[in-house]
Homo-oligomer: A and B are copies of this chain.
Amino acid sequence: MSSPLLEQLIDALRILPGVGQKTAQRMAYHVLERERDGATRLASVLAESVEKIGHCTRCRDFSETEVCAICTSASRDAHLLCVLESPADRMALEQATGFRGLYFILQGRLSPLDGIGPAELGLDQLAARLAEGEITEMIIATNPTVEGEATAHFLAQLARSKSVKPSRLAHGVPLGGELEYVDRGTLAHAFGSRIEMS
C-alpha cells in the first residue's frame, strides 16, 4: 500500500455488515476523494454514538437518555404496548403503520438452547409494567419464526395473567421471515388486522 493509514482505514471499515475487502477499499477511496467533510462528521457522530447510546430503561430500545424520546412523548397512546424483538423491527413497524402507542423491545427471543430465557428478554420488567394497570392491549409483534411464535405464546400468557388483552399481527406476514425485511404494505396490513390471541 502507498499509505499504511489507508490500509488501517480499509481494515476498520470491515466491521460494517456486508462490507468485505473490496467494498471497504471503494468506501475508503470514495470518502477520501469526495466526502472528507462528511467523513469527519461520521467519525465524530460514530464516536459520540458509541459513547452515549445505551438502552432506554423503560422500553429497552436504543437511547442516549435514560428514558427515550418515544417513551417520554406526551402524544403517544399509553394504553397500547407493542412488543418487538429488535430496534430494527420497531423502526420498520413505526414507518409502515400509523401506530401511536408505546413499545417494548425484547432484544431477542426465547431460545433456551442459546441460554436466552425470560430474564435476558427483560420479561420481569415487562410484567411490572403491565401490572401498573395503564396498558389495556399488548400487541405482540415478534417475528413469525418458530422461536418468535413460542415467544409470542409465552408473552400472551404473561399479558393475560396481568389482565391485559394480548393481540398478534394478522396473517399476512410471511412465515419464516424477519419483520425488518417485510415490505411496508404487507406489514401495515398485518398490523391493521391483528387478532386477539385465544
Contact assessment for A3 and B47 in the assembled complex, using a CB-CB cutoff below 8 Å: no
Counting chain A residues whose Cβ lies within 8 A of the other chain, the interface size class is 35 or more
Q: Closest B-chain residue to A1, C-beta based?
A: B69
Q: How far is the CB of A29 from chain B (nearest CB, A)?
A: 5
Contact assessment for B9 and A46 in the assembled complex, using a CB-CB cutoff below 8 Å: yes
* A44 / chain B contacts, CB cutoff of 8 Å: 43, 47
Question: What are 27 A-B residue pairs whose CB atoms fall within 8 Å in the complex?
Answer: A1-B70, A2-B71, A2-B103, A3-B53, A3-B61, A3-B62, A3-B68, A5-B45, A5-B49, A6-B62, A8-B49, A9-B46, A12-B42, A15-B31, A15-B39, A17-B26, A17-B30, A26-B88, A29-B62, A32-B50, A36-B50, A39-B46, A39-B50, A40-B50, A42-B46, A46-B46, A47-B47
Which residues of A come within 8 Å of B, CB atoms?
1-6, 8-9, 12-13, 15-18, 23, 25-32, 35-36, 38-50, 52-53, 56, 59, 61-64, 68-71, 86-88, 90-91, 103, 180
